[in-house]
Amino acid sequence: MLQAGSLRTFAINAKDLAQAEKFYTQVFSAEVIRRVEPNEEQLKRGRVREVDVQLGNFQVHIFDASQGSRPGVPHHTIMIPWKEKEENIQELERCGAKVENIRDHPDGKGYSLYVKDPDGNIWELWSAP
């Protein structure tokens, strides 16, 4: 059984990215910590504009859904203790969870495993040394 750590992120779709940013920054005093403006090549591969805000002790990743919802969103991220990727995958499988997707982190220092609960809700399990 994996030991869940703290909640790291909520990932959501927004039909109007500017309006969503305004809501989180004005209603919750969230701070914008990152903006993603994909180039043409990234857009072709499915990347969309994104605004990430810090909300208390976690982040909300807001994806531009003006052209439709982004696949795999919404999902939420839980930090899990560092173990080699295969070890965590095997542990999840022993507990009856199916790893739907694996993503290496861009910094090369960690990875995310994606699982669904029995109702199809997506959880990203984030691990880094």
pLDDT tens track for 11-22: 999 999 999 999
Q: Give the chain's domains with CATH numbers.
A: 7-127 (3.10.180.10)
Q: When comparing pLDDT for 106 and 20, which is higher?
A: 20
- 94 pLDDT band (50/70/90 cuts)? very high
- Kindly state the percentage of the chain with pLDDT values over 70: 100
What pLDDT, on the 0 to 100 scale, is given for residue 78?
A: 95
Pairing of strands 7-14, 58-64: parallel
- 107 pLDDT band (50/70/90 cuts)? confident
Whose tokens are 């004005």? That residue is 26
Cα–Cα distance for residue pair 21/8, rounded to 1 Å: 19
Half-sphere exposure of 32 (CA within 13 A, CB side): 14
What pLDDT, on the 0 to 100 scale, is given for residue 5?
A: 85
Whether the CB-CB separation of 11 and 69 falls below 8 Å is answered with: no
